[in-house]
Structure 1
Amino acid sequence: MRVATSTIYSLGVSGLQKHLADQAKLQNQLSTGRRILTPADDPIASARALSVTQAQSKNEQYITNTDSADSALRMTESTLQQVTTLIQNVQQLAINAGNPTLTANEKSILETELQGRYQELLGLVNGTDGEGTYLFSGFRGDTKPFTETSFGNVTYNGDQGQRKVQISDSRAIPVSEAGSQVFQQIKNGNKTFATGANVANTGSGIISVGEVLDPTKWANAANVQDFRVEFYSIPDPADPTGDPIINYDIIDDRATLPDGSANPNYNFSMVDGYDYNGGARPVTPGVNPFPRTYTSGGDIEFRQLPGETTPLIAGWDFGVKASIEGTPKTGDTFSLDASTNRDVFTVLADLSTALKSYKTDGTGTGQATFQNQLNNVISNLSNSLDNVLTTQASIGSRMNETESVRSTNEDINLQYSQTLTKLQDLDWAQAISDFAQNQTLLEAARTSFSKVQGLSLFQYI
Structure 2
Amino acid sequence: MRISTAQMFNQNVSSLNRSQTQTSKLMDQLSSGKQVNTAGDDPVAAIGIDNLNQQNSLIQQFQKNIDYANKHLSLAESQLGDAESLSMSIRDRMLAAVNGTYTADERQGFADELRSSLAELQAIANSQDESGNYLFAGAKSDTQPFAFDNSGNMVYSGDSGVRTALVAAGIAMPTNIAGDAAFMKAPNAMGDFSVNYSAAQTGEFSVNSTTISDPASYVPGDYSFSFIDNGSGGLDVQVFDSASSLVTTINNFDPTNPISFNGIDVSVDGSPNAGDSFSIAPQDSVSIFDTVQQTIDLFENGDEINTPAGKAQLAQLLNNFDSGVDQIRIGRSQAGTSLSSLDSYSDNHADTKLVNSSALSVLQDLDYASAVTEYQKQQLATNAVSSLFSKVGSVSLFDYL
TM-score normalised to structure 1 length = 0.77
Asked if the contact 1:72/1:129 (under 8 Å) is kept, the reply is yes
Gap change, CA 1:251 and 1:414, over 3 Å in 2: farther
Q: State how far apart, in whole Å, the 2-side matches of 1:104 and 1:246 are.
A: 38
Q: Which of the residues 282, 292, 302 maps onto 1:358?
A: 302
**Which residue, 270, 277, 281 being the options, matches 2:249?**
270
Q: Which residue in 2 is equivalent to 1:63?
A: 63
Which residue of 236, 243, 250 maps to 1:249?
236
Give the 3 Å change call, closer, same or farther, for CA 246–138 of structure 1 in structure 2. Answer: farther
Change (3 A) 1:217 1:156: closer
CA contact (8 A) 2:229 2:236 kept: no
Q: Distance in 1 between matches of 2:15 and 2:31?
A: 24
2:226 to 213, 230, 234: 230
Which position in structure 1 is the counterpart of 2:30?
30
Structure-2 residue corresponding to 1:203: 202
Could you tell me how far apart the structure 2 residues matched to 1:415 and 1:50 are?
15
Q: Partner amino acid for 1:302?
A: P
1:34-45 map, 5 Å:
34-45=34-45
Q: Measure, in 1, the Cα distance between the counterparts of 2:342 and 2:329.
A: 20
Correspondence 1:436 to 2:376:
yes
| 2:102 corresponds to | 102
- Is the Cα contact below 8 Å between 1:193 and 1:338 reproduced in 2? yes
Displacement after TM superposition at 1:381 (Å)? 0.5
Asked if structure 2 preserves the Cα contact closer than 8 Å seen for 1:152 and 1:349, the reply is yes
**One-letter amino acid matched to 1:205:** E
Corresponding position: 1:221 with 2:217: yes
Match of 1:402 in 2: 342
SS of the residue corresponding to residue 18 of structure 1 reads: helix
**Which has the larger displacement, 349-358 or 409-418?**
409-418
Q: Does 1:448 align with 2:394?
A: no
Cα pair distance change 1:435/1:41, threshold 3 Å = same
Alignment correspondent of 1:422: 362
Number of aligned residue pairs: give it.
Answer: 401
Shift, 1:103, TM fit: 1.0
- Which residue does the alignment assign to 2:112? 112
SS of the residue corresponding to residue 442 of structure 1 reads helix
Distance 1:70 1:206 in 2: 49
Supply the distance in 2 between the matched residues of 1:358 and 1:458 (Cα, whole angstroms): 135
| Aligned-residue offset at 1:348 | 1.5
SS in 1 for 2:99: coil
Secondary structure at 1:160 match in 2? coil
C-alpha distance 106-458 of structure 1, shift in aligned 2 (>3 A): farther
Q: Give the partner amino acid of 1:176.
A: N
Query: Which amino acid letter does the alignment assign opposite residue 255 of structure 1?
Result: S
Partners of 1:19 and 1:438 in 2: CA distance: 7
Q: How far did 1:435 drift?
A: 2.2
The 1-side partners of 2:391 and 2:117 are apart by 100
SS of the residue corresponding to residue 303 of structure 2 reads coil
Q: CA 1:173–1:113 in structure 2 vs 1: closer, same or farther (change >3 Å)?
A: same
Letter in structure 2 aligned against 1:179: G
Choose which of 256, 260, 277 in structure 2 pairs with 1:333. 277
Tell me the CA shift for residue 319 of structure 1: 5.6
Q: How does 1:259-338 map to 2 (within 5 A)?
A: 266-272=245-251, 291-292=252-253, 299-302=255-258, 321-324=267-270, 328-336=272-280, 338=282
Q: Is the 8 A contact 1:302 1:320 kept in 2?
A: yes
Gaps (5+ residues) in structure 1?
237-244, 257-262, 273-290, 294-298, 305-312
2:288 is aligned to 344
Over residues 52-84 of structure 1, what are the superposed CA-to-partner deviations in whole Å (9 max), with x where a residue is unaligned? 312220121101111111111111111111111
SS of 1:139's partner is coil
Residue type at the aligned position of 1:387: Q
1:384 matched to 2:363? The reply is: no
Alignment-mate amino acid for residue 298 of structure 2: A
Indicate the RMSD between aligned Cα atoms, in angstroms: 3.2
State the alpha-carbon separation in 2 of the partners of residues 183 and 2 from structure 1.
100
Taking structure 1 as reference, are residues 346 and 78 closer, same or farther at Cα in structure 2, changes over 3 Å only?
Answer: same
Question: How many Å separate the matches in 2 of 1:437 and 1:270?
Answer: 110
Out of 305, 308, 325, the position equivalent to 1:368 is 308
User: SS of the residue aligned with 1:322?
Assistant: strand
Unaligned residue ranges in structure 2 (runs of 5+): none
On the 8 A contact 2:80/2:332 being kept in 1, the answer is yes
CA distance in structure 1 between the aligned counterparts of 2:130 and 2:5, rounded to whole angstroms: 81
Tell me if structure 1 keeps the 8 A contact 2:205–2:268: no
The Cα of 1:292 is off from its aligned counterpart by 3.4
Q: Give the C-alpha shift of residue 134 in structure 1.
A: 1.3
Structure 1 CA distance, aligned partners of 2:237 and 2:393?
A: 125
1:10 Cα offset (Å): 5.0
TM-score by length of 2: 0.87
Tell whether the 8 Å contact from 1:122 to 1:146 is kept in structure 2 after alignment: yes
SS in 2 for 1:172: strand
Q: Structure 1 residue 350: deviation in Å?
A: 0.2
State the secondary structure of the residue aligned to 1:130: coil
Q: Does the Cα contact within 8 Å between 2:166 and 2:173 map onto a contact in 1?
A: yes
Q: Is 1:20 equivalent to 2:20 in the alignment?
A: yes
Confirm or deny: 8 A CA contact 1:189 1:339 kept in the other structure.
Answer: no
Distance 1:25 1:19 in 2: 10
SS at match of 1:40: coil
What is the DSSP-based 3-state SS (H/G/I as helix, E as strand, rest coil) of the residue aligned with 2:366?
A: coil
User: Quick one: structure 1 residues 458 and 76, their matched pair in 2 at CA, closer, same or farther if it must change by over 3 Å?
Assistant: farther
Deviation digits for residues 257-288 of structure 1, max 9, x if unmatched? xxxxxx9xx4244324xxxxxxxxxxxxxxxx
Q: Once the 2 structures are TM-superposed, how far is the Cα of residue 159 of structure 1 from its aligned partner?
A: 2.1
Structure 1 counterpart of 2:16, one-letter code: L
The correspondence of residues 42-53 of structure 1 with structure 2, limited to 5 A, is: 42-53=42-53
Whether the 8 Å contact between 2:15 and 2:385 is mirrored in structure 1 is yes
Identity of aligned residues (%): 25
Contact 1:231/1:246 (<8 A) preserved: no
User: Partners in 2 of 1:454 and 1:16 — Cα distance?
Assistant: 17
**Bigger mean CA offset, 89-98 vs 187-196:** 187-196
